[in-house]
Structure 1
Amino acid sequence: MTTPPPLLGVRGLHVTFPGRHGTAPARAVDGVELDIRAGEIVALVGESGCGKTTLARSLLGLVPPTAGRVSFADKPLTYSTKALKAHRRRVQLVLQDPSGSLNPRHTVYDAVAEGLRIHRYAGDERTAVAQALSRAGLRPPERFFLRYPHELSGGQRQRVVIAGALVLEPELIVADEPVASLDASVRGEILALLLRLRDELGLSALVVTHDLGLAWNIADRVAVMYLGRIVETGDVEQVLTAPQHPYTQALLSVLPEAPSDPVVLTGELPDPSRIPSGCRFHTRCQILANGEAERAGVAQACRTESPGVLGGGAEARVACHWARAGTGAVPGAP
């Protein structure tokens, strides 16, 4: 049996921004391959500044790629106004801050109906808005129609934003830090909502987060991003219980339930206009710093040879010379 194509596929994606005052261009996304299958939730994880949001926005055509391509339902994304409008009906964005996403002068009804009006929805608008609010957990929906954002709690505002994404019945949502601005008591409710939407509607999702704990609770697969490139990917349980890349190990070590002491990375995330040679993580790598890479015979390779770009399939992969030498990890694509 042939494997069906992914719902969304990214191949060799690069997004470069011009440098300021004559400096080198910033390589925000620097060769990413990623697949999202129908009905799958993928967590894109990494610290601030690693390129997660730029990658997420490029999947909706909000940031056109410098090179590479994005495909949806096995068809390449094109960047005409008509094609982008059709694409964004099938792929919707949920932003981090619901207060910033909602116009304070618009009622909940108008906020949710906006997408229908933009896309000239031919059906019953009131029914569609009520159904979207109900699916997002705001019931009875009519009770919220005439409310304004300031009259809602933070969790309710985020549900309105999700309803605005659901009203067009998309196949994929891209959620950028969807619970980062919410109280801890509300985060679990929103995560449970996303899981329920996946189970009931077959909805796929890319969840962008810096929180590996969130990824554990919601994702089927995880992709760890560092300095514009995915450095480890695989099933969430496999990656988070037995991380192979030193960067993934460091991210996991700071979780409250981590069994070992936190790994303190040296220095700051490098400037994307000056990406280090060799493995892009080697300037901060605890494995190189403590001599383990030298003992494994890969220290020179870490400093001078790129581990390559990881393929976008479902297989577990890691872009790390040390992990490949010591664990027999699946190598990335050349």
Structure 2
Amino acid sequence: MSARPPAPRGPDTTAPVLSATGLEVAFTGRAVRGTARAVDGVDLQIRPGEIVALVGESGCGKSTLARALLGLVRPSAGKVAFHGRGLVYRPRELKAFRERVQLVLQDPSGALNPRHTVYDAVAEGRRIHRGSTADEQEHVAEALSRAGLRPPERFLLRYPHELSGGQRQRVAIAGALILHPEVVVADEPVASLDASVRGEILQLLLRLRDDYGLAALVVTHDLGLAWNIADRAAVMYLGRVVETGTVEEVLSQPRHPYTRALLSVLPESGAREQQILAGEPPDPTRIPGGCRFHVRCPVLASGRAEAAGVAERCRTEDPGELGAFGPARVACHWAHAHKAGRAGKAGKEQRAG
């Protein structure tokens, strides 16, 4: 893949600003036959000034996890913590929490009221949390400037239909920034934008991180986006995080067959051939036994798991959940067997030498 900009930091041991521990979100109801485990035992951390990419196919649980981290969905089990304190699901506490953790939606056209001016759209969040104040216009102008809409006076009285897609997304970001949050959760922030303006929005998020220490969780199906913006990546499949680590570890040396398949379709990945995943992700009300990816796994289908002696474990033994701490991690029997095999081979060669 193409070279990334130099990382601004080394390994970060700072306490997380926002975290999930053993998080589960399950849905039941008339529209769901049985219980759908949309999020099924996820640990995740976001540290101050860090951008984490949450990557996976549509329907894997990314957006549900993001909503749970925002307190918009109450977990069935586990907990969400802000600066180490568990989230309290009462209106007053949630209101205070959402002032400091803000959401940026995928479609700014849907997020912005077409009858509201840019001024009103940006000021809305501040009015909800702090009421109207004499210095409101100053704060709106500052937020627009931070979002890259300069001079802000040019945009205050415009309506969403008078703006380009990139400008509307910047207005949505300014609406989050006016409250000076510590964390932004951006759900597919550039998916609805033309390729020509995607880079501008990504550069804006990077600048906000570097200049203001803003942390972000970027939810995306686009691994190229993750490569260009994230410090760490978490790959999600069927409600679980199956691989996590720094973005270089996960995307330059992917170990889980699912991550490898997602990367193989990117022209810049350097993969010898694309790995087409068979079928669709299983129904979350009927999660397969064993490794939940085994029914679509190209490594199992090709016989490589059999050769490594783990095929039966793939079909019958759950590789478990990934903890949020420590170095790169992967939930895959074959990846661990493959690593052990390579280590054993290297040891034999060293002794022979």
Q: Are 2:265 and 2:274, in contact at CA under 8 Å, matched by a contact in 1?
A: yes
Shift of 1:9: 1.2
* Unaligned residue ranges in structure 1 (runs of 5+): 330-334
Q: Are 1:14 and 1:27, in contact at CA under 8 Å, matched by a contact in 2?
A: yes
Match of 1:75 among 71, 85, 89: 85
SS at 1:315's partner residue?
A: coil
Q: For residues 86 and 103 of structure 2, what CA distance do their matches in structure 1 show? A: 19
Shift of 1:24: 1.2
Q: For residues 311 and 173 of structure 1, what CA distance do their matches in structure 2 show? A: 23
1:291 paired residue number: 303
Letter of the structure 1 residue corresponding to residue 309 of structure 2? G
Q: For residues 120 and 143 of structure 2, what CA distance do their matches in structure 1 show? A: 13
Q: For residues 158 and 57 of structure 2, what CA distance do their matches in structure 1 show? A: 36
1:256 paired residue number: 267
Shift of 1:328: 4.3
Using the TM superposition, name which of 260-269 and 242-251 deviates more. Answer: 260-269
2:245 paired residue number: 234
1:46 paired residue number: 56
* Unaligned residue ranges in structure 2 (runs of 5+): 1-11, 342-353
Q: Are 1:102 and 1:161, in contact at CA under 8 Å, matched by a contact in 2?
A: yes
Using the TM superposition, name which of 40-49 and 253-262 deviates more. Answer: 253-262
Deviation track 1:122-155 (CA, whole Å, cap 9, x = no partner) reads 5611111000000000000011000000000000
1:113 paired residue number: 123
How many residues are aligned here? 328
Shift of 1:193: 0.2
Q: Are 2:14 and 2:48, in contact at CA under 8 Å, matched by a contact in 1?
A: no
Q: Are 1:35 and 1:314, in contact at CA under 8 Å, matched by a contact in 2?
A: no
Change (3 A) 1:3 1:215: closer
Q: Where do residues 198-237 of structure 1 align in structure 2 (5 Å cutoff)?
A: 198-237=209-248
Q: For residues 256 and 47 of structure 1, what CA distance do their matches in structure 2 show? A: 18
Shift of 1:258: 2.9
2:286 paired residue number: 274
Shift of 1:210: 0.2
The alignment status of 1:89 with 2:99, answered yes or no, reads yes
2:8 paired residue number: none
| C-alpha RMSD of matched pairs (Å) | 1.4
Q: For residues 132 and 124 of structure 1, what CA distance do their matches in structure 2 show? A: 13
Shift of 1:318: 0.1
Q: For residues 207 and 22 of structure 1, what CA distance do their matches in structure 2 show? A: 28
TM-score where L is the length of structure 2: 0.91
SS at 2:267's partner residue?
A: coil
Match of 2:205 among 178, 194, 213: 194
The alignment status of 1:321 with 2:347, answered yes or no, reads no
Q: Where do residues 139-158 of structure 1 align in structure 2 (5 Å cutoff)?
A: 139-158=150-169
Q: For residues 31 and 219 of structure 2, what CA distance do their matches in structure 1 show? A: 31
1:12 paired residue number: 22
Q: Are 2:15 and 2:83, in contact at CA under 8 Å, matched by a contact in 1?
A: yes
SS at 1:24's partner residue?
A: strand
Shift of 1:208: 0.2
Which protein is bigger by CA-based radius of gyration?
2
Q: Are 2:117 and 2:158, in contact at CA under 8 Å, matched by a contact in 1?
A: yes
TM-score where L is the length of structure 1: 0.96
Q: Are 1:15 and 1:66, in contact at CA under 8 Å, matched by a contact in 2?
A: yes
Shift of 1:20: 3.1
Q: For residues 22 and 211 of structure 1, what CA distance do their matches in structure 2 show? A: 28
2:350 paired residue number: none
Letter of the structure 1 residue corresponding to residue 23 of structure 2? L
The alignment status of 1:99 with 2:109, answered yes or no, reads yes
Q: Are 1:19 and 1:26, in contact at CA under 8 Å, matched by a contact in 2?
A: no
Q: For residues 26 and 3 of structure 1, what CA distance do their matches in structure 2 show? A: 35
